[in-house]
Chains A and B, each alone.
Chain A
């Protein structure tokens, strides 16, 4: 690993604290005013016009209204890693910003969710200006945004500043034990956990802004077989990291990170649905929503946030249009920021005409569950969109 700091932290941190304080008020106001939307990174690869994010109003019944398209000021790449989040809604406490990556332009856009005003796009280091053909994944803390550039193999650190702007701090070249690049990233407090997609995982200390390895890079337990972690989520209390795996079947792995380092993962197989490269905890942490990316299905599993144990739940049928209108699905987002999240939205990836957003209803039956696509599902994405990442505002509270 090598480190390419390009800016001294000491000049930035005091300003960041002030920005964070100002942002809390703005975000709280947003949550109160009933604003509720879904946003997609359209990831369009066409050079003209530039790519967009699309804002959909979410109606009371969960349906999505015609989107407002906002330029990201750059070009997407129409695909890449399943585990990488290409669009993020800033966490509560900050300005209502949406961050979206432009993988072909190798930069990050900041967009004010209320005014739809574009800030940036913002670039990383010179080495990061290399075609990110597997996308640029994003993760965000209360003060920083981290971008995994699949072209350079670097994780870039950005200071979050007012008006949805970013200030680039520096890069860390991050590579897995078998040569993989950072795919899924998740943050809790001062800890960032990374899945490399090559069977290995690692965590970083981000207390100083720049990521510093915790020295715990390791092969996941599942990598002995067929399970290579691609995506990661972290419990609200920061006790467990949960990995979704690229696989011929469905599986998640759980690592106890309460010590501040990764511990050997426990593997939970979730059935035969194909692939599990995206994983998302429900707002109440009782359920894991797993995208069977290659099989066009969604799997739900019950999660015990006290013990970190996972119990098999249910799997949907293949979503409407699978292998006819779309080929892969991306990461699930929940309609609501509370409870089990209400309806589930899932990006349906196609590069032929347009992508779609599938909608599913999760019902827990006590001992089991059902996952059923709604009658009105799917909703068409913007023209030329290639959807793998979506977000919902207000965001999950962790």
Chain B
């Protein structure tokens, strides 16, 4: 079969683990002499009557491996060469005609399902092509390897970030196929000594749909996976997390789904256990806290300490049901893994150092206390809204500055927000629709201050937050976010959007221009 039609590729992706095997950390690549070099190929594999598989493959010493964890120290440089060899065309679509001229990915390209790029979600990197630019950069599956090259700043917050496709027309499809991985900026044990020396468990929650058609309603069966192991209990046995009884582990969890809202619980018997939250969205929290539920919108990350159950004690990692609004997608409860305590459990590798007393501040670069107390130089109001032709769509999605005309995002359109270096702004983001949305800002964190006008007890730096759904009557729900443009490195033009990826693809995105 040629490129036309849904191409079946039999060896495109490495085999993925079965549902009930022991959960292992993803393969890992670390920087050497300050540089992390990796060659990734985006590939696809279509399975009969199963979800499409999409993978970031690299050549490990043991053969092709998928979705490596990229680990860097602050100050390190990453040199990532991405080759797009994704071949799947959505049913009833045709491949674009090949361009006779050499293609420049920095100048854009097609919105075919075969096009791609990478968003390094949450990293503080410049919004330029070959770095953090995502709204124009387009790598076609006939292009040579495309080079990403950037440095993790020396004052970058330590924590978990992630990478995924973000090209309009293909992002949701490719992410739902499994194309994602995490990136860890080292140093958490310095910011939070309580995690030093603990076994470090990396868990990536992904989501797959059987049907790739965005117009299909209802969509294919909702499925979550944990490190690529289907979490579909009771239809399939659950993934197994082995822990040593009563031993603490440091869990780093990424919500790498396109649209699932996670509310995670570690449950012993029927009781949710306290876990100690130490970082959110890649930033150490101001003060570690014990929580019985960790809420993560699509794109969010949480890092927390879990104590293993006793031998023989029934324990599970649960996704509890999250209400997504009257017109939101289903977000049902799901057992993600069984936690089995055994003395000979093979623990994941430990972080450096030995656990020590919790530190209150940790990361030297944190500025959220000062941010919370500073005076905003401007207040902006924005809102999420939808226009739909019917109960099943099609729907146009908007993220609009109040007073402007709602427009679906146009990469070549003007910025919705223009500000300048030095500004400290409060953004009040409302939701005019009946489903939840997630606000995500590229290249910088913001301080999450309020929900519906109520101040949060512990404002934290985030890069992705949930904006609650409107309930049909009464005022629109809002979140208040403090944006800090005082760092000269924030200059440039970049995007903010709903992190529910098909919303962003359908227009729920806007540009900000920060002038020097």
Give residues in A with beta carbon < 8 Å to B.
Answer: 78-84, 133-135, 180, 183, 197, 225-226, 228, 230, 246-248, 274-275, 277, 293-294, 296, 318, 322-324, 327-328, 349, 388
Minimal beta-carbon separation of A225 from chain B (angstroms) = 5
The segment out of B32-40, B372-380, B390-398 that lies at the interface is: B390-398
Question: Contact between B432 and A277 (Cβ–Cβ < 8 Å)?
Answer: no
B386 / chain A contacts, CB cutoff of 8 Å: 248, 294
Question: Contact between A327 and B326 (Cβ–Cβ < 8 Å)?
Answer: yes
A-B contact count (CB 8 A): 82
Q: Which of A78, A246, A323 contacts B388 (CB 8 A)?
A: A246
Q: 17 extra interchain contacts, Cβ-Cβ under 8 A, other than A246-B389, A275-B387, A296-B472?
A: A79-B390, A80-B391, A82-B391, A84-B390, A133-B392, A225-B406, A225-B407, A226-B398, A226-B405, A230-B389, A248-B387, A248-B432, A294-B388, A318-B472, A322-B472, A323-B326, A323-B471
B contact patch SS: loop
Determine which residue in A228, A275, A294 has the highest number of CB atoms from chain B within 10 A of its CB, and name it: A294
The 9 A-B pairs of least Cβ separation, nearest first, read A323-B472, A79-B391, A81-B390, A248-B385, A197-B389, A246-B389, A226-B406, A323-B326, A322-B472
* Cα A264 to Cα B396 with chains together (Å): 23
Q: Given that A226-B405, A318-B472 are contacting pairs, would A349 and B391 also be in contact in the complex, using a CB cutoff of 8 Å?
A: yes
Question: Contact between B390 and A134 (Cβ–Cβ < 8 Å)?
Answer: yes
A294 / chain B contacts, CB cutoff of 8 Å: 386-388, 433-434
B71-94, CB < 8 A from A: none
B327 at the interface (CB under 8 A from A): yes
Minimal beta-carbon separation of B467 from chain A (angstroms) = 16
Q: Can you sample 28 A-B contacts with CB below 8 Å?
A: A78-B391, A79-B390, A80-B390, A80-B392, A83-B389, A83-B390, A133-B216, A180-B394, A183-B390, A197-B394, A226-B396, A228-B389, A246-B388, A246-B389, A248-B386, A248-B387, A277-B388, A277-B390, A294-B388, A318-B472, A322-B472, A323-B326, A323-B472, A323-B473, A327-B326, A327-B391, A327-B434, A388-B391
B391 / chain A contacts, CB cutoff of 8 Å: 78-80, 82, 327-328, 349, 388
Question: Contact between B472 and A82 (Cβ–Cβ < 8 Å)?
Answer: no
Q: Which of A322, A328, A388 contacts B473 (CB 8 A)?
A: A322
Minimal beta-carbon separation of B382 from chain A (angstroms) = 13
A225 / chain B contacts, CB cutoff of 8 Å: 405-407
A133 / chain B contacts, CB cutoff of 8 Å: 215-217, 392
Residue of B nearest to A80 (CB): B390
B216 / chain A contacts, CB cutoff of 8 Å: 133
Per-residue 0/1 for B402-437: is the Cβ within 8 Å of any A Cβ (1 yes, 0 no)? 000111000000000000000000000000111000
Q: Given that A226-B405, A226-B406, A323-B326 are contacting pairs, would A82 and B390 also be in contact in the complex, using a CB cutoff of 8 Å?
A: yes
Question: Contact between B473 and A183 (Cβ–Cβ < 8 Å)?
Answer: no
* Cα A79 to Cα B473 with chains together (Å): 23
Residue of B nearest to A323 (CB): B472
Give residues in B with beta carbon < 8 Å to A.
Answer: 215-217, 326-327, 385-392, 394, 396, 398, 405-407, 432-434, 471-473
Question: Contact between A324 and B432 (Cβ–Cβ < 8 Å)?
Answer: no
* Cα A88 to Cα B481 with chains together (Å): 50
B405 / chain A contacts, CB cutoff of 8 Å: 225-226
Residue of B nearest to A78 (CB): B391
* Cα A248 to Cα B354 with chains together (Å): 55
Minimal beta-carbon separation of B185 from chain A (angstroms) = 39
Question: Contact between B472 and A81 (Cβ–Cβ < 8 Å)?
Answer: no
Question: Contact between B392 and A79 (Cβ–Cβ < 8 Å)?
Answer: yes
Residue of B nearest to A295 (CB): B472
Question: Contact between B327 and A183 (Cβ–Cβ < 8 Å)?
Answer: no
A197 / chain B contacts, CB cutoff of 8 Å: 389, 394
Residue of B nearest to A83 (CB): B389
A293 / chain B contacts, CB cutoff of 8 Å: 388
A134 / chain B contacts, CB cutoff of 8 Å: 390, 392
B433 / chain A contacts, CB cutoff of 8 Å: 294
Determine which residue in B388, B389, B432 has the highest number of CB atoms from chain A within 10 A of its CB, and name it: B389
B472 / chain A contacts, CB cutoff of 8 Å: 296, 318, 322-324
Minimal beta-carbon separation of B65 from chain A (angstroms) = 40
Minimal beta-carbon separation of A298 from chain B (angstroms) = 15
B387 / chain A contacts, CB cutoff of 8 Å: 226, 228, 246-248, 275, 294
* Cα A260 to Cα B350 with chains together (Å): 77
Residue of B nearest to A318 (CB): B473
Q: Which of A135, A228, A274, A296 contacts B396 (CB 8 A)?
A: A228
B392 / chain A contacts, CB cutoff of 8 Å: 79-80, 133-134
Minimal beta-carbon separation of A346 from chain B (angstroms) = 15
Residue of B nearest to A327 (CB): B326
A296 / chain B contacts, CB cutoff of 8 Å: 472
* Cα A248 to Cα B391 with chains together (Å): 15
Minimal beta-carbon separation of B103 from chain A (angstroms) = 25
* Cα A84 to Cα B394 with chains together (Å): 14
Q: Which of A80, A180, A248, A318 contacts B406 (CB 8 A)?
A: A248
* Cα A176 to Cα B407 with chains together (Å): 20
* Cα A42 to Cα B15 with chains together (Å): 47
A322 / chain B contacts, CB cutoff of 8 Å: 472-473
